[in-house]
Structure 1
Amino acid sequence: MKLPRLATYSVKGEPRYGAVLEGGIVDLSARYAKDYPTLREVIAAGKLVSLAEEAAGRTPVHALGEITWLPPVPAPEKIICIGVNYPDRNAEYKDGQDAPKYPSMFMRSPRSFVGHDTPLVRPRASAQLDYEGEIVLVIGKAGRHIPESTALDHIAALTLCNEGSVRDWLRHAKFNVTQGKNFDSSGSLGPWLVPYMRESQITDIRLTTHVNGELRQDDRTSRLMFPFRYLISYISTFATLVPGDVIVTGTPTGAGARFDPPRYLKPGDVIEIEAEGIGRLRNGVVDEA
């Protein structure tokens, strides 16, 4: 049985969570908020699948048109982003170096992300807002020094990310990219969580990015230089992974900065990130007020 997707959203400004069905959303927070105030607590309790199964037979109470989508995991302890994880991305740098021995990574803040169907914000400080379509792992079981052989057991769900970057601000310092990766509302997460059920669900997923209907990025997770098992094991060597942690696993070649001339995002553009078995994450673009 295909389980419903679980989403965080708001109605008239009130945050809620529920199961996304074809006809709308089943409000699970109305029933379970006392025990699980948000989806992060649902994840920690290991209840994503059981709540999704329970919601499958219920009637939606919110139409999709009346909600505001929010990032699926509220207030994650860690948002860890992986850089240069597809082989063609390594070649894009044209520095003559072999594939990296270890993954590049950096952290992002929750405030730098919006939900599905909410516009990304091009900041006053720069016109170089760029898109990066990525698949996201959401951790469900805590662990440290996790072996690769059991790493997938620590995944609760999958979702999508537009890991928006402000390109010139990535170069403001010698050793870090933090500034360009953390502008408010410059990226997005969602639309929902797909409960993780089996290894085949993530072995070979096609990931695409379209901008205004034009295909810009297209690759498969079977080509990752650092597969999901490895990432979970490697990160857990230096940090304890906890339920609700978000791992953004890397983007394919084809971001706007790689065109000649670069094709950065501008107000009115529409970016759609899509992955097999997960869904489609869509966002527009507006200028910062």
Structure 2
Amino acid sequence: MTSPRLATYAVSGLQRYGAVVDDGIVDLSSRFGQDYPTLREAIAAGALMRLAEEGARYRPHHALDAVTLLPPIPQPEKIICIGVNYPDRNAEYKDGSDAPKYPSMFMRTPRSFVGHNAPLVRPRASQQLDYEGELAIVIGKAGRHIAESAALDHIAAITLCNEGTIRDWVRHAKFNVTQGKNFDSTGSLGPWLVPYGEEAQIADIRLWTRVNGETRQDDRTSRLIFGFRYLVNYISTFTTLVPGDVIVTGTPTGAGARFDPPRYLKPGDIVEVEASGVGLLRNGVIDEVL
């Protein structure tokens, strides 16, 4: 049985949201837009499952290939990304270090992401555009100092991320990676939200990334160094998590930079991030044109 799915999309120049049913989208904006202008407000109201159930009652209004899928949450307040969160990723650094005591993290801007089937943009400043397939959790209930025992109650949905990185620009400074993580249109989010229901849904998701059909990354969320409960607890210690915030939970081993020689993305490549029970996020690659 296919999990309920909710998407933000554009059609005829308008941004809307709806339920993904079979190979189409049931427009829900026309019915619920006054209460929930976007999926961000629906998340805050705890209404994702209600919307999914309502959408399942109707035939699609649009074919999927007739709309443009956008990042599911318009303008989230925070996109927090976790680094080095799979055991083999720590080993990739070949520095003999033990597993980290605390998670590495950084922030990304909404402008650095595109949606499903939109091209990733290799910037003029660098040819080192890399892929990082990741699972992302979406916060549904605000909180600060959230206990691990209550952490999953604050999750509204899951989605996928290609946390694209400009590798030489993450090394420009001594202590941060912000520059290389925030070039416009270098990553993607989507293709939709899958409402969260219970811990078993996220405990052991298989996540894999393909480039031009070749599997480059393949791991499971059961192997995360810092699990979902811990991340919500830890992050909420220093910042208030609010509905619509996105936590991108880390990428498995196998990014292009770790090959010898490195295998960076180039125009014409197709990157697919897929996760069991979630879906498939696909993007091509183009060069920046100014």
TM-score by length of 1: 0.99
Ranges in structure 1 where 5+ consecutive residues have no aligned partner: none
Secondary structure class of the residue paired with 1:265? coil
Match of 1:242, SS state, is coil
Deviations 1:232-262 (A, max 9, x none): 0000001100000000000000000000000
Asked if 1:227 is matched to 2:239, the reply is: no
Runs of 4+ aligned residues of structure 1 deviating over 2 Å after TM superposition are 1-4
> Do 2:3 and 2:278's aligned partners in 1 also have CA atoms closer than 8 Å?
no
Equivalent position SS for 2:102 = coil
Report how far residue 59 of structure 1 moved. 1.4
Q: Secondary structure at the match of 2:15?
A: strand
Secondary structure of 2:52's aligned partner:
helix
Q: Measure, in 1, the Cα distance between the counterparts of 2:223 and 2:64.
A: 35
Aligned to 1:204: 204
The separation in 2 between residues aligned to 1:215 and 1:31, in whole angstroms, is 41
- So what's the TM-score if we normalise by structure 2? 0.99
Taking the aligned partners of 2:204 and 2:160, their CA distance within structure 1 comes to: 15
Which residue of structure 1 lines up, in the alignment, with residue 151 of structure 2? 151
Letter in 2 for 1:202: I
Matches within 5 A, 1:86-235: 86-235=86-235
Aligned to 1:286: 286
Alignment CA distance shift 1:199-1:126 (3 Å):
same
- The Cα RMSD (Å) is 0.8
- Cα offset for 1:164? 0.1
Deviation string 1:76-106 (CA, Å, 9 cap, x unpaired) is 0000000000000000001111110000000
* Deviation at residue 65 of structure 1 after TM alignment: 1.2
Matched letter for residue 70 of structure 1: L
Secondary structure (helix, strand or coil) at the match of 2:62 reads coil
The one-letter amino acid of 2:109's match is S
Structure 2: unaligned runs, 5 residues or longer: none
Equivalent position amino acid for 1:15 in 2: Q
After superposition, the Cα gap between the structure-2 partners of 1:23 and 1:97, relative to the gap in structure 1 and judged at 3 Å, is: closer
User: Is the Cα contact below 8 Å between 1:5 and 1:193 reproduced in 2?
Assistant: yes
SS at match of 2:150: helix
CA distance in 2, matches of 1:73, 1:280: 17
Contact 1:140 1:154 in 2 (8 A): yes
1:47 Cα deviation from its structure 2 partner: 0.2
Encode CA deviations 1:145-168: one digit per residue, 9 max, x unaligned. 111111001000000000000000
- Cα distance in 1 for partners of 2:25, 2:96 equals 50
Displacement after TM superposition at 1:2 (Å) = 4.8
CA distance in 2, matches of 1:217, 1:121: 21
Letter in 1 for 2:8: T
SS of the equivalent of 2:202 reads helix
Equivalent residue runs for 1:271-282 within 5 Å:
271-282=271-282
Q: SS in structure 2 opposite 1:46?
A: coil
- Give the secondary structure class of the aligned counterpart of 1:203: coil
* TM superposition shift of 1:22: 0.4
**Whole-angstrom distance in 2 between the partners of 1:23 and 1:136:** 23
Deviations 1:17-48 (A, max 9, x none): 00001041000011111111100000001000
Task: Percent identity, please.
Answer: 78
- Match of 1:233, SS? helix
Pairs aligned (count): 289
Q: CA deviation at 1:3?
A: 4.6
